Structure 1
């Protein structure tokens, strides 16, 4: 496990954001409810201060202006005064001097949802991503991604696959992700869209990787590239294939049913932790 100085927040989608009415942490009695917009608030608290530069990257979205504007507004409602949008739509723009300069200067980055293949095909192998990865390893920058923006953070990425046929070989399609997080495969909108089968196949095919299924408005706060804490309002499913004793993945043909023995599954609620390098679950109440 590679140790990093950066902080990563991966989010399952449908992120709760502060409205103008409560963004000043005022709900009539002077305080915001503790679960209101917890994830985006955690992102802001992980930054050095209110003037820290934040760049929103809506590359995954088909409507980047609309997608980015809601986050700009959310950050402003939380008092962040230095927010920009890195609207990268081509590989050429990802290599541009201005893009790279802004990537070197920002202290927080948020990738919106959309299509994860847009992110990897447009940004993979570019100077933008190279600088971002290097800074994440060596500096305490904060990177967050929601939905597609979360799925691309791993080294192996799911980009396609139906839920109801997910335990037939070949139904789930994989590609290379950004590699910000090692030995992990991420799926999002997990509980609502019934994607447990997708993650079972992903881990059976890549048993050295931990499967992480993120519920909506739910995320993992990951520090040192290893310590993962559940935050937000929902559930996280962790699928660990380290102890698999049998799977027929190598012997069956495309479309046939997958058999897996001794696949370990954990259910995390907010406050629970998982130490990736140790395959260790730490319940919130044990601390």
Structure 2
């Protein structure tokens, strides 16, 4: 049981306690394995293998479209699996506006593991948005496949996707310096989770400001920040923390939003910090 702690900050009241999260696709037969980037601990790779079942039958595919160098992306994504004797993973790269063959789509549809590599989430969505590729990923998940992704591959899991860009400060920074209105850029993601916004590299890169901004401006969403070398495994109505670090969950249940010039404020936000092995329920 988590203790309730009131954190009083300028414009922010945050309550720390146990929480449930509403999520779509809870009736799907498949699972989601969403990694916050960084290195993958050996035990995490073992978990991906066993949860997908590719150690017993079938195969997995790696979708490298987030990367500018898809061949290299496939190589590095496969390496740890090969070290564990899993040779049944294959790269499956799609190019924007290509005429996709039925056999290529069937290879994606029948995969027991679909793994989305890191890179740039915008690049990935630019290739698949509105295509049969997007539909088949959802169908595979609904039919029992494990859909996994790391870094950019984690960000795309949200329906509302954080792009990483600041609208008011175009020079890229891994950490937002402000909690400002109309600053966070949101685009359409893959939508494996309809009412959750995923952020990655979270603790290591102190990305609290942008996730605070997201849930203040989109209060119907739950913000989930996943640290490096850490993942959430979503199965049915449960989120499990897998890996070596924390998962931070933010909610804005009162849809609180205050403004002072362009600074955002909010009260009674809910914050949970989950540790490896902990499980929290989703409705």
Q: TM-score range by the shorter chain?
A: 0.7 to 0.9
SS in 2 for 1:220: strand
Using a 3 Å threshold, how does the CA distance of structure 1 residues 135 and 72 change in structure 2: closer, same or farther?
same
Write the distance in 2 (CA, Å) between the matches of 1:166 and 1:39: 34
Residue segments in structure 2 that go unaligned for 5+ positions in a row = 1-23, 167-172
- Give 3-state SS (helix, strand or coil) of 2:264's partner: coil
Structure 1: runs of 5+ lacking an equivalent? 17-35, 278-287
Taking the aligned partners of 1:164 and 1:48, their CA distance within structure 2 comes to 39
- 2:108 aligns to what SS in structure 1? helix
CA contact (8 A) 2:158 2:190 kept: yes
Aligned match for 2:250, one of 232, 239, 246: 239
Q: TM-score, normalised by structure 1?
A: 0.82
Map 1:44-55 to 2 at 5 A.
44-50=49-55, 51-55=57-61
Q: Which residue of 1 aligns with 2:258?
A: 248
Match of 1:196 among 208, 219, 231: 208
TM-score (norm 2): 0.84
Matched position secondary structure for 1:181? coil
Answer whether contact 2:250 2:270 (CA < 8 A) is retained: yes
Aligned mate of 1:123, from 109, 128, 135: 128
Q: Is the 8 A contact 2:111 2:140 kept in 1?
A: no
- Determine the C-alpha separation between the residues in 2 that align with 1:191 and 1:74: 24
- Measure how far apart 1:118 and its partner are: 0.7
| C-alpha separation in 2, matches of 1:6 and 1:47 | 9
The match for 1:154 is 158
Corresponding residue number in structure 1 for 2:10: none
Counterpart of 2:93 in structure 1 is: 87
Aligned to 2:277: 271
- Measured in 1, the distance between the counterparts of 2:229 and 2:54 equals 24
Query: Which structure 1 residue ranges, 4+ long, deviate > 6 Å from structure 2?
Result: none
8 Å Cα contact 2:181-2:217 kept in structure 1? no
Conservation of the 8 A alpha-carbon contact between 2:197 and 2:223: yes
- Matched residue SS, 1:92: coil
Instruction: Kindly provide the CA deviation profile for residues 232-283 of structure 1, in whole angstroms up to 9, marking residues without a partner as x.
Output: 0111110011244x3126xx76xx1001111111101101122222xxxxxx
Distance 1:248 1:99, change over 3 A: farther
* Helix, strand or coil at the partner of 1:262: strand
